[in-house]
Amino acid sequence: MFVDALKTIWSDSGFAALAWKECIMIGVAFFLIYLAIVKKFEPLLLLPIAFGMLLVNLPLSGLMNEPAEGSSGPGGLLHYLYMGVKLGIYPSLIFLGIGAMTDFGPLIARPSSLFMGAGAQFGIFAAFIIASALGFDPQEASSIGIIGGADGPTAIYLTTRLAPDLLPAIAIAAYSYMALIPMIQPPLMRLITTKKEREIKMEQLREVSKLEKICFPIIVSVFCILLLPSVAPLIGMLMLGNLFRESGVVERLSETAQNALINIVTIFLGVTVGATAVADRFLRLQTLMIIGLGLLAFMFSTVGGLLIGKLMCWLSGGKINPLIGSAGVSAVPMAARVSQIEGQKANKSNYLLMHAMGPNVAGVIGSAVAAGILLALFG
Amino acid sequence: MSVLESFVVTLFSMSIVFFVLAFLWALIKILSTVLKHFENRKSENTAAQVATGMQAAVAAASEIGSVASISAGQVKLIDVDEKTAAMIMAIVSHESQIPLSELSFKSIKAL
């Protein structure tokens, strides 16, 4: 009797249902957990993503199960939380928090930074061309290309609308490469710029008035949303968060948006995106191709930003250090920090961080605009 | 989608991205110029008001000064030079916590 009971427990357990594909996915999840905790690669998102991936690949957990048809029983916990991703709620709420945390002052002080933010979107479309050539349909190619925008919420938002099947691979590639920016960008920066250019010290930025900072989010929202209505959830929330911050009259809302709210949404977003990485959907040649194309997209974006930076350096008579162009790939503030570090390597008295924040935040707007265009074309 | 078509999409999309961000650049420039203009006018008005206020204050002070010189009266100094007398008046004011303008000295005499 006991033997039968043990047999039943075993056959009903997840161990008996474990297939080799799930084992690989559990291994991938362990590796990502290691990267997040030990290597500190974007741990705020990579850790929940990796744990979501682990949970969903443990057989019979049913965490992502839809409620059975005709049954009154509920579906899995993560299935319901995933609705926030599917409906585009979480990325927009994360943008609200990012807006509340972002100071657009350096961009307003030097609006020409916007051109570097635009140039750094080149990677999105370069990857789009290559993905199309490799046989991906336009929706999939757009979702793969957006990895080059180096903007996690935008990548997730666009992919859930155009190619939801690719979401786990794209989300993991986007966040992993954002964490790897200090390794991806510097060789390209040194390759494209001369030592003389990297040594350029930039003039201090002018002081931006409070009124300018208040008017900025309102004007950007009105113009961008009128031109590209599909981008309203992202730009609208980003600018609302920024208005909370700059208005100075809703301190509590600003505090909540940049702390509690963004943290809660990050947990839900990370776990549920990770939970979409089930073995059958993830362990495909396509995933490897997406990861490779994502890297290319990042590299082309960096090159695009640097080339515009070089052009602006030339046009300004050597007053602009082209290194700040690479910060146009978004990934706030990591990419700006990389510009600062490379600038200081060339000239110890060089402080590029605030100058690089301009293209950096311009990149956030640029990638949202690029996503809006792709949605308008292929949505 | 053919590679040629994807090139066309890229050209079109990058043009739109540059157009949108260039338009934002122009909007920020206009906004900064307009706000700077308003702030300059505001600071000019403030400066004018401050100047008027200062003139009024100077006039009032000179009036007060003339009144004070009238009400101060004369202090009889006996074997004391003016500098020592001024020092004594300041010490008395400080120790008694009474402003100098409210104190009335009749004479200061060396003992």
What is the pLDDT at residue B67?
Answer: 47
Assess A299–B contact: CB distance below 8 Å, yes or no: no
Q: Where are the beta strands (DSSP E) in A69-130?
A: none
Q: Is the dihedral of CA B14, B19, B20, B24 positive or negative?
A: positive
Written as one letter, the residue type at A189 is: M
Compute mean pLDDT per 10 residues along chain A, 379 residues long, and list them: 87 88 93 91 87 93 84 86 91 94 93 94 94 94 92 91 90 83 92 94 90 94 91 94 95 95 94 89 88 93 95 94 93 90 92 93 93 92
A226 touches chain B (CB under 8 A): no
User: How many CB atoms sit inside 10 A of residue A24's CB?
Assistant: 14
A205 near A106, Cβ under 8 Å? yes
CA of A355, closest CA in chain B: separation in Å?
A: 16
- B44 vs B50: CA distance, rounded Å: 10
Closest CA to A120 of A293, A363, A356: A363
Domain regions of chain A by residue span = 95-163+170-250+292-378
Distance, in Å, from the CA atom of A188 to the CA atom of A300, rounded to the nearest integer, reads 10
Interface touch A219/B31, C-beta < 8 Å: yes
**CB distance A235 to A41 below 8 Å:** no
Nearest to A223 among B7, B24, B35 (CB): B24
Interface contact B4, partner A, CB < 8 A? no
Q: For the packed helices A89-101 and A262-275, what is the interaxial angle rounded to 10 degrees?
A: 140
Encode A138-158: b = buried (16+ Cβ within 10 Å), e = exposed: bbbbbbbbbbbbbbbbbbbbb
Q: Kindly state whether A374 is in contact with chain B, defined as any CB-CB distance less than 8 angstroms.
A: yes
- Judged by CB atoms within 8 Å, which residues 269-288 of A form the interface with B? none
Residue A18 φ/ψ, nearest 5 degrees: -70, 120
* Alpha-carbon separation of residue A67 from A12, A58, A75, A217, A355 (angstroms): 21, 19, 4, 42, 52
Cα B72 to chain centroid, rounded: 32
Amino acid at A306: L
Q: Measured between CA atoms, how close is B29 to chain A, in angstroms?
A: 7
Chain B neighbors of A137, CB-CB under 8 A: 1
Q: Find the residue in B nearest to A361 (Cα).
A: B21
Q: Is B34 on the interface with A (CB under 8 A)?
A: no
Which pLDDT does position A360 carry in this prediction?
A: 93
Is-contact A125 A368, C-beta < 8 A?
Answer: no
Residue B73: what pLDDT? Answer: 64
Is the separation of the CB atoms in A326 and A304 below 8 Å?
no
Contact A132 B13 (CB under 8 A): no
Q: What count of other Cβ atoms lies within 10 Å of the Cβ of residue B77?
A: 15
Is B30 near chain A, with CB under 8 Å?
no
Q: What is the C-alpha separation between B30 and B64, in angstroms, rounded?
A: 50
Q: Which residue ranges make up each domain of chain B?
A: 1-72, 74-111
What distance separates the 2 farthest-apart alpha carbons in chain A? 88
**Taking the C-alpha atoms of A351, A357, A360 and A366 in order, what is their torsion angle to the nearest 10 degrees?**
-140
B23: confidence class by pLDDT, cuts 50, 70, 90: very high
Chain A to chain B, count of Cβ pairs less than 8 Å apart? 93
Task: Name chain A contacts of B24, Cβ cutoff 8 Å.
Answer: 111, 114, 220, 223-224, 365
Judge: A365–B27 Cβ closer than 8 Å, yes or no: no
pLDDT digits over B44-99, tens only? 877 777 777 677 766 766 665 554 444 456 777 888 888 888 888 888 888 887 87
